[in-house]
């Protein structure tokens, strides 16, 4: 008889004025609701621009390759740039040397898969994001009034978003 592993599922309720941090040993992921219908533009390596149409319950996720106060301030700043200023997302070409220097990457949409085995900043698809090894494999889904996280999550915190 074989035993199948069961993926954990956790719902975390959060308002549009709250920020959820998923915390690993070597990185953090910040998640907010878009809180409004909006458009974000994605500049691709082949000189095309993709328009991403987001609904108010969709997610903005920022993955930082560090932990602590400095990483969290950076995540909050990036969220402000995306959510409040609709700053465009830039995608680097595969094997671009700057990819190794990125401190944060972003993903937006109704579901996001965390993966530590992809090259940061090179994926125009918004359903995948590079994350630290401890968070890799998590799947995050937007639900009404919160998020559902599938996979093993060890450490998280929810806090009010400064405006």
pLDDT band, residue 1 (cuts 50/70/90): very low
- pLDDT value at position 97? 92
Least confident range from 12-21, 100-109, 120-129: namely 120-129
Q: Is residue 32 part of a domain?
A: yes
Q: Is residue 24 part of a domain?
A: yes
* Closest among 162, 131, 138, 133 to 32, alpha carbons compared: 162
Q: Is residue 12 part of a domain?
A: no
Q: pLDDT tens digits, residue range 36-86?
A: 999 999 999 988 999 999 999 999 999 999 999 999 999 999 999 999 999
Query: 17: which 2 tokens?
Result: 């004025």
pTM: 0.92
Contact (CB, 8 A) for 20 and 31: yes
Mean pLDDT computed over 29-41: 97
- pLDDT value at position 124? 84
DSSP state, 158? E
DSSP state, 98? G
Q: Is residue 39 part of a domain?
A: yes
- Contacts of 68 by beta carbon, 8 Å cutoff, 6+ apart: none
Q: Is residue 101 part of a domain?
A: yes
Q: Domain residues for 88?
A: 18-156
pLDDT at 2 > cutoff 50:
no
Q: Is residue 8 part of a domain?
A: no
Q: Is residue 6 part of a domain?
A: no
Contact (CB, 8 A) for 2 and 13: no
Query: 120: which 2 tokens?
Result: 């940061």
Q: What total number of domains does the chain contain? A: 1
Q: Is residue 37 part of a domain?
A: yes
- pLDDT value at position 57? 97
């Amino acid at each position: 008889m074989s035993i199948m592993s069961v993926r954990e599922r956790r719902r975390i309720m959060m308002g549009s004025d709250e920020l959820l941090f998923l915390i690993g040993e070597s990185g953090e992921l910040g998640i907010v609701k878009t809180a409004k219908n909006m458009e974000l533009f994605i500049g691709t390596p082949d000189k095309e621009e993709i328009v991403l149409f987001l609904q108010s319950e969709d997610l903005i996720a920022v993955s930082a390759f560090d932990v602590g106060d400095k990483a969290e301030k950076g995540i909050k700043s990036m969220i402000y740039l995306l959510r409040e200023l609709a700053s465009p997302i830039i995608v680097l070409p595969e094997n671009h040397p700057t990819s190794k220097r990125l401190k944060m990457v972003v993903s937006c949409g109704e579901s996001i898969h965390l993966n530590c085995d992809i090259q940061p900043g090179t994926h125009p698809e918004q359903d995948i994001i590079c994350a630290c090894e401890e968070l890799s494999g998590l799947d995050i889904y937007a639900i009404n009034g919160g998020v559902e996280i599938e996979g093993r999550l060890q450490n998280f915190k929810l806090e009010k978003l400064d405006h």
